[in-house]
Amino acid sequence: MASQIHRRFTDDQVKLLLELYAKKAIPLEQVLQQLECSRSRFYQILKAYRYDQGEFTVAYGRNYPQHRLSKKMERAIREELEMDRQLIGDKETPLWGYNYAAVRDEVARRLGCRVSAQTVRSRAKEWGVLYPQNQEREKLSPRGGDRSSWNAFAT
């Protein structure tokens, strides 16, 4: 099969073929050969043509991008990232960075929609929610105390 019908033919060309087929001026096989489509696809097109001849088009029907998240989902991601940001900023909490998988899971639980952790990370970066890498934070070990002795031991 070749590329899509809406790329190979104009609406008027397809309408002409359908009109000729309806008047039995050309056989089905010739229409299928010219349109280079299957019988089932042809009958879908014919049904749409018969339903509303004036508004008939073979143009691509999607008017919105499929890869976009809904506003509701983006708002939920932003809220969860902000909650994580507050926990990270709290010096009593032993968190050093964002947990994108937890944000993803919480958004999925709240809204019932799936989103990848990478999408959450990309949105955080886009919104400037990430802390800069060179920003120093007073580092305490999870058990309390200074981490400098551990850092010296680890290197």
Question: Do 78 and 110 share a domain, yes or no?
Answer: yes
Domain membership flag for residue 58: no
- Give a yes or no: residue 83 inside a domain: yes
Same domain assignment for residues 12 and 68: no
Q: What is the pLDDT of residue 110?
A: 92
Any domain includes 9? yes
Instruction: Convert the pLDDT of each residue in 2-29 to its tens digit.
Output: 578 888 999 999 999 999 999 999 999 9
Q: For the chain, how many structural domains are there in total?
A: 2
The reply to whether 75 and 112 lie within a common domain is yes
Tens-place pLDDT, residues 46-99: 999 999 988 888 887 767 667 788 899 999 999 999 998 888 888 888 888 888
18: DSSP letter = H
pLDDT at 134 over 50: no
43 and 100 share one domain: no
On the 0-12 / 13-18 / 19+ scale of CB atoms within 10 A, 52 is exposed
Show the domain range for 39.
Answer: 5-51
User: Is 14 a domain residue?
Assistant: yes
Mark whether 37 and 73 lie in a shared domain.
Answer: no
* Cα angle 54, 59, 65; round to 5: 130
> Does residue 143 belong to any structural domain of this protein?
no
pTM, full prediction: 0.48
